[in-house]
Structure 1
Amino acid sequence: MNNLYPSGKCKEGAIEESLGIIVKGSIEIFKQSDNEIKKVARLGSSQTFGEMALLDGEPRSATGVAAEDSIIFFISKKNLLYVAEDHPKLGFQILWKISKLMSQHLRSTTGKLVDYMEK
């Protein structure tokens, strides 16, 4: 389902089992840290967010806010499971892509953590 992504729709701590794919526009990702809200990323067209909540069903780990008018394609966990059941090859390819993205994010975060610890 395509949606115009309104400001603040994806809230940190919200329980939603869906992945967003940015079709048009951009999303800024913010994280609550102690008494501060910090911008941690800006995502653009063709990028995704919500991978962790899609897979583990845990509350959102950050807040996504549209930086401009944005169109997002959302896929729910339920719909992804239907696709995987009816079209196993496609389901595998989607899950493989999500796994690859999460691996890239983890590598990047690990590198940033090491840089921070060396300061």
Structure 2
Amino acid sequence: MKKQTRRNFLTATGILGGGLAASAMPLGKKQNKKQVIHHVFFWLKNPNSKEDLAKLLAGLQTLKKIETVRAIHIGVTAKTEERSVVDATFSASELLFFDDLAGQKTYQDHPIHLEFIKNCSSLWEKVIVYDSVDI
């Protein structure tokens, strides 16, 4: 059995660390792609209507089927403490993750998204969208 020396240990650690770092790096064009986060807030015309909220939430669930959606979170206003920086006036929100801008564009033009707008836009009074990319 070979005696472990400090030099052998450092060499092995360096090789292992370099291999791990290289494996974590994206290959090819992916290095230039930035994940897109699409956060949408909805204010219902009838904010006290449980039926309207249920229809909106059901419509949002259909968006999971769009192939470029990597992750989705659908939620309603949380009952957190009131603070001046918290806007708790919205009825529902969706948070979507895409690999890149092309994936987000596919989502925008997708028949399932267009059908959601057609079926649910009469429910909301206001919509605000926040889109961001990784830095």
TM-score by length of 2: 0.23
For the pair shown, the structure with the greater C-alpha radius of gyration is 2
- Structure scoring higher RCO (CA < 8 A, sep ≥ 6) equals 2
